[in-house]
Amino acid sequence: MRAALLLGSGFILWVIGWLNDSYAAYLMSSAAMALLVLCWGWARLSAREFSCRVRAPSHTTQGQPVFLQWQVDNRSRFARSLLVTLTAENTTLQEPFPSQRVIELAPAVAARVLTERIAFPVRGRYVLHQGKAYTSDPLGVFYVPRNIEGAGDILVYPAAEPFPRSESHGPGQVRSGEVRATRFASDVGDYYGIRAYQQGDDLRRIHWKATAHTGDLAVKDYEQWSSTCYIVVLELAHFAHRGAGSASSLEAAVRAAATVSSHALALGRSLGLAAIGSQRLVMSPDRGHKQFIRVMEALAVVKADGEAPLAEQMAGGSIPLPGGCTAVLVASSAAPSLVQPACALRARGIKVVVILVAAHSFEDGRGRRWRQRQRDDEAALKAMVAEFEGCAAVSVLQRGQTLASALAGTRPWL
């Protein structure tokens, strides 16, 4: 812009000098052209005397600020004005990310580190395209580009939400942050039968009729829902999810899977992951920070590109579920029902927890037909939840709802 302005001014002054035969106008026009050539040469020479390299973290978490650093080496005896640009592309969700622009002054014969604070709002793998560092003349008329070295990839993990706290109702139950298992509490299991009283049992669990009949203290026994092993199963069928980009039911399902995985591993539980789309992803249960990294790296890049619904995969044995573990099924309401596979797992002695993402709530539309379709989908969802009675603990996750609010009012299972 400045170069065009300078060139136009020189041309206008030359025309004025030619029309009026003005020596002063000719002189000013020549000065403008000479300044233009001088600035161009200065900028070209400056580009040879500096280098720029970018440093970026290999991974971060969705929404968490990170710092990109540009190391600029100016070997010239003069200070340089720099314009640094860098673009990133999300290759997982194909969502645009704005270019980063930094304008700084690099001191003479010195190295300087430029820092930019950014946050990636969406999970996925971001490819940092080779950026440009522009050096200019002192007047900023011309900017000459140089390639930035060190551009690479940044893996953005999905953000885990706060998990609902479990309240203690008696001796032996899990408090928030503890790693021990629950024991004989109706809030965490189903009624199983009657057994003899043991020291430490909650007195509120005493079965008074059985005690009066036998003469010995007897307590109600409950099947506990807490476990030391969890398998998170994520549905990735392309027809099962609705919405687009970060406002889709897939992203809600991924956040729910990340929340459960993060909380289970933080409590010292053993956790596995199964997500079958166009590629088969099955992780054996394990503990510790390494397992957390493996799970988050997998969840960062999953796509809804599968052909088979989760119900078919489970019925066909594609997803191994070891005995003694609790299966946490993160499924979509738009997919075929999981009632039969869930009941089959229950019959095998595997506890089942279903987080059902209400896919229809992620659709945008208007009009009478759309509203009627929404009502029909909501009614079908309620009927599906009712069918799970006795087979699995079910929570429904609506659009804009956190997992903590979706699990509120249900019995704690983690």
Q: How many CA atoms lie within 13 A of 78 on its CB side?
A: 14
Q: Which residues contact 241 (CB under 8 A, 6 or more apart)?
A: 235, 248, 249, 250, 253, 304, 332, 334, 357, 359, 362
Q: Hey, which of 36-45, 219-228, 270-279, 307-316 has the most confident mean pLDDT?
A: 270-279
pLDDT 10s digits, 7-31? 788 788 888 888 887 878 888 888 8
* One CATH from 1.10.3470, 3.30.420, 3.30.450, 3.40.50 for 229-407: 3.40.50
- Taking residues 313-331, what's their average pLDDT? 85
Is the pLDDT score of 126 beyond 80? Answer: yes
Fold: same for 50-157 and 229-407: no
Which CATH superfamily groups domain 50-157? Immunoglobulins (2.60.40.10)
- Using DSSP's 3-state secondary structure scheme, residue 403 falls into helix
Percent share of the chain, pLDDT over 90: 17
Give this prediction's pTM: 0.72
- Domain borders along the chain are 2-46, 50-157, 186-224, 229-407
pLDDT 10s digits, 145-160? 777 766 678 899 999 9
Name the β-bridge partners of 189.
Answer: 224
**What does the pLDDT read at residue 81?**
66
**What does the pLDDT read at residue 406?**
86
Is the pLDDT score of 180 beyond 50? Answer: no
**What does the pLDDT read at residue 273?**
95
**What does the pLDDT read at residue 298?**
95
| Measured CA distances, 132 to 108, 172, 210, 405 (Å) | 20, 61, 81, 46
pLDDT 10s digits, 184-237? 333 445 555 677 877 666 787 788 888 888 888 888 765 544 568 899 999 999
User: What are the structure tokens assigned to 160, written together?
Assistant: 């885990």
